[in-house]
Amino acid sequence: MYLETPEGIYLALRPAGLPVRVLAFAIDLLLRAALLAFAGAAWLYLGKFGLGLASISAFLLLWGYMVLFEVLNQGRSPGKQIMGLQVIYSDGTPIDWSGSLIRNLLRVIDLLPFAYCIGILCLLNSARFQRLGDLAAGTLVIYEARPTQRKSLPEVTASPSARTLTRNEQHALLNFAERQQQLPKRRSEELAAIIAPALHIEPAQAVSGLYAIARSILGLR
Amino acid sequence: MHLNQVQVLLRPRNSWEAMDLGILLARRHAGLLMATWAAITLPFFVLLTLLFWQQPTLPALIIWWLKPAFERLPLHILSKALFANTPRFTDSIKAWPTLLKLQLLASLTWRRLSLRRSFTLPIQQFEGLAGAARQQRVLTLTHKYKQVPTWLTILGIHIEMALWLGMVVLLYLLIPAQLQADWSWSSLLTVSHSEWLWFEHLSNLLYVLVLIVWEPVYVACGFTLYLNRRIELEAWDIELAFQGLAQRLKNSPLLIVFALLCLFPYSDTALAQSAETEVISSASEELDTNGPRLLKQLLNSEQAQQSIKQILDAPPFKTYKITKSWHFNDPSSTEYTSPNWLNQLLKQLSFTIQSLLWLLLLVISVIMLWHYRQWLRAFAQQRQPRQQYNPAPKQRVLGLEVSSDSLPDDLVASAHTLWSDNPRAALSLLYRGLLNHLLEVQALPLSTAHTEDEVLAMSQNLPKPLQCYSQQLTVHWKNLAWGQQTLNHAEFVQLCTDWQQLQSQEAKP
């Protein structure tokens, strides 16, 4: 899914689907259960006062856990953070109190009639993986954009391409060079053979020729 | 397999995203996938239920156990649909028996409990490997994906259970509360087994219905995981891009040949010869952008113009729309030539009308200037210093002018002349005279805000005759001014003589 900002920049948002969100929710659930167990221990040891504490913390865990984490931790509850997810508004802006509250209050509807049946069906049926709460609040759960380490290119002498390449084609060439580790040697040769003649590269040095072009695209020597 | 027909965006994704792609794929073909799954499982389930009516656990167990056999059909449909070749319902059902032939026994026995079932099924079904080769292939593909297919199956079990329990709970919620009142769990446990057979079969049915929704998604997720692994390993996205690049560059070799042809024959002498003519022609054609120019270049102006025109004619700049509507036949198609004299007459007439119109314009502008002359003068004279004109402040009391120069010299005589046709003016003249007297001779601080009664009250300290006179006059004036009651002539004469007496008394001392 792509958003265009007023400055003309394309932002790629990748909405997260059912499996990863179920897992994130399970992590959150376990965490809350553990915290609740602590509260229960307080009840055992502190008597009535402990019971009060336990009820208050149970209430906070039930209603506040998700909202607080989402608003104060860039849309990430601990489970989401572990799975690399993030809640944002569907226009790409960060989530705030109202969005998070609506989203998490409607959780009650999503978990009807049992174990999030409605939520699961909604997620399966929505193109952007939104459950009812997300639809009401206009929010999305997306994969967090984490900075990636650019992989090193093979060590060959750079030489520019004989022909002009569009941006997508340059991307493909860079990808080809960066994924040299994953690709089997014969497959690399096969791929290089597709465009070697068009780029006036000797078939024998097709692969290294493409690596050289990729280096020149990046401005390396 | 033609990669350029693939229906999804090819790029290496992380494994969770790959599963999401599976969900979207299953969603796009949801109708077909669910219908075919229902078509092969539901009749089978009904048959099983009838066969094992007394053992309600068996039908669900058998359906569950045979899942890998059923899963081959959605996988087949998805693989076709991925390359834009979605089969029809009947075709897919017909294809199912042939799909079952491949290693069915293995799938249903020792591979049945494998948690990576969804991921290895495509390997088996599409690559048809067996024995050591298959083992090797599975190892290669699962090298990085040891956990994810397992997680998919574990999540799948939970989601299946959640949906199934959800359906059961929904049914329970739909039971009216009156019926539930006398339920107790102990009695539910003690009722004889046979009475609840229908309920167990019902819950089996719910399970089968849940599978209709979930299984296509599960298979699709496994399929896209497999697909993603192959995209990674074989760089399908790069292949697609390279093919596009090769295609693009292949389409333009004509241009290259043309360029070579253009460049080579021009030896130095040829260039020298043409230079002279070029100088002459360039002088005349330099500014003419429409003529053919820059002929010696790789891309001459004609070609450039042509491609510019093509681009400008294409949709983003110009959109062609064909609209149809009714028209009368064109009347101008019948030729008609008017006689010469008529043409002359028309010419003269048009000249006359034109002159008249010009005249009209002239007249209107003159009238406008005349009409707005004051306004124009105001603008024209703005430069001259404005004359300061400060009129002496007028003395007004009760809205009447009371300064001495606004009154006639002989007050009584003028009042008498006014009396016959305008008694109101006459009386007001007398009253103004009184006010003037009070203001200037007696020096009362009268202002324009005072009323008649207030003036009267201020004249309390004046000499008796004046006070008396002003009382009388005020009463009459009020009656006339506010009540429209005219005093009679005798009273008026009396007032006049009183005023004269007062004036003469003033003059004596």
Among residues of chain B, what percentage have pLDDT more than 90? 17
Please check the confidence at residue A210 and state whether its pLDDT lies above 90. Answer: no
Contact B166 A165 (CB under 8 A): no
Tokens of B10: 């090819």
Inform me whether the pLDDT recorded for B124 exceeds 50: yes
Out of B158, B169, B246, name the one closest to residue A195 (CB): B246
Averaged confidence pLDDT in chain B: 80
Residue pairs between chains A and B whose CB atoms are closer than 8 Å: 120
CB pair distance less than 8 Å for A113 and B173: yes
pLDDT at B431 over 80: yes
CA distance A212 to chain B (A): 16
Of A114, A143, A179, the CB nearest to B162: A114
Confidence of residue B32 (pLDDT cuts 50, 70, 90): very high
- Whether the CB-CB separation of A188 and A179 falls below 8 Å is answered with no
DSSP 8-state symbol, B85: -
* Minimal-distance CA residue of chain B relative to A175: B238
pLDDT at B296 over 90: no
Express each pLDDT in A110-155 by its tens digit: 887 888 888 999 888 888 889 898 999 999 899 888 787 777 777 7
Per-residue pLDDT tens digits for A24-68:
999 999 999 998 888 777 777 776 777 777 787 888 888 888 899
Per-residue burial over B19-42, b = 16 or more CB atoms within 10 Å of its CB, e = otherwise: bbbbbbbbbbbbebbbebbbbbbe
At B348, give phi and psi (nearest 5°). Answer: -65, -45
Q: Average the pLDDT over each of A32-41, B127-136, B163-172, B183-192 and give the range with the smallest value.
A: B183-192
Cα distances (angstroms) measured from residue B387 to each of B202, B376, B381: 109, 19, 12
Kindly report the nearest CA distance between residue A43 and chain B, in angstroms.
Answer: 30
Positions of E strands within A5-164: 10-12, 85-89, 139-143
Within 10 angstroms of residue B426's Cβ, the number of other Cβ atoms is: 22
In chain A, what percentage of residues exceed pLDDT 70? 96
pLDDT reported for residue B220:
93
Most A CBs within 10 Å, among B8, B245, B299, to test the A interface: B245
Q: How far is B165 from chain A (nearest CA, A)?
A: 7
- CA proximity to B470, closest of B495, B445, B440: B495
Chosen from A18, A109, A126 to mutate, greatest number of chain B CBs within 10 A: A18
| A129–B23 C-beta distance less than 8 A | yes
pLDDT of B381 higher than 80: no
What pLDDT, on a 0 to 100 scale, did the predictor assign at position B127? 83
pLDDT of residue B436: 83
Tell me the domain boundaries of chain A: 2-143, 167-218
Of A17, A113, A198, the CB nearest to B20: A17
Across the interface, of B23, B162, B238, the residue whose CB is closest to A116 is B162
Judge whether residue B35 has pLDDT over 90.
yes
> What integer pLDDT is reported at residue B276 of this predicted model?
42
Confidence of residue B181 (pLDDT cuts 50, 70, 90): low
Going by pLDDT thresholds of 50, 70 and 90, the confidence category of residue B359 is: very high
* Contact between chains at A19 and B151 (C-beta distance less than 8 A): yes
**Percentage of residues of chain B with pLDDT beyond 70:** 81
Q: How far is B147 from chain A (nearest CA, A)?
A: 13
Residue B23 near residue B221 (C-beta atoms within 8 A): yes
CB contact under 8 A, B165 and A115: yes
> What local confidence, expressed as pLDDT, does residue B190 receive?
60
Is residue B296 less than 8 Å (CB to CB) from chain A?
no
Contacts of B213 in chain A (CB under 8 A): 121, 124
Query: pLDDT of A148-181, one tens digit each?
Result: 777 777 777 777 777 777 888 888 888 888 888 7
Q: Identify which of B12, B163, B233 has the shortest CB distance to residue A120.
A: B163
Report, as an integer, the average pLDDT of B22-37: 91
B346 interfacial to chain A (CB closer than 8 Å)? no
Instruction: Check CB contact under 8 Å for B151 and A115.
Output: no
Q: CB under 8 Å to A51, separation ≥6 — which residues?
A: A43
CB distance B245–A83 less than 8 Å?
A: no
Q: Give A94's DSSP letter.
A: B
Per-residue pLDDT band at B334 (split at 50, 70, 90): low
Residue B163, both tokens: 């949906």
Q: How confident is residue B193, by pLDDT bands cut at 50, 70 and 90? A: low
User: Hey, what are B299's tokens?
Assistant: 């891309």
The pTM assigned to this predicted structure is 0.62
Q: What is the pLDDT of residue B358?
A: 95
**Chain A residues with CB within 8 Å of chain B CB:** 14-20, 22-23, 83, 113-117, 120-121, 123-125, 127, 129, 143, 163, 165, 168-169, 171-172, 175-176, 179, 182-184, 187, 191, 194-195, 197-199
CA-to-CA separations, A60 to A35, A50, B89, in angstroms, rounded: 11, 15, 52
Least confident of B36-40, B265-269, B324-328, B489-493: B265-269
Q: So what's the pLDDT on residue B268?
A: 44
**B16 lies within 8 A of chain A by CB:** yes
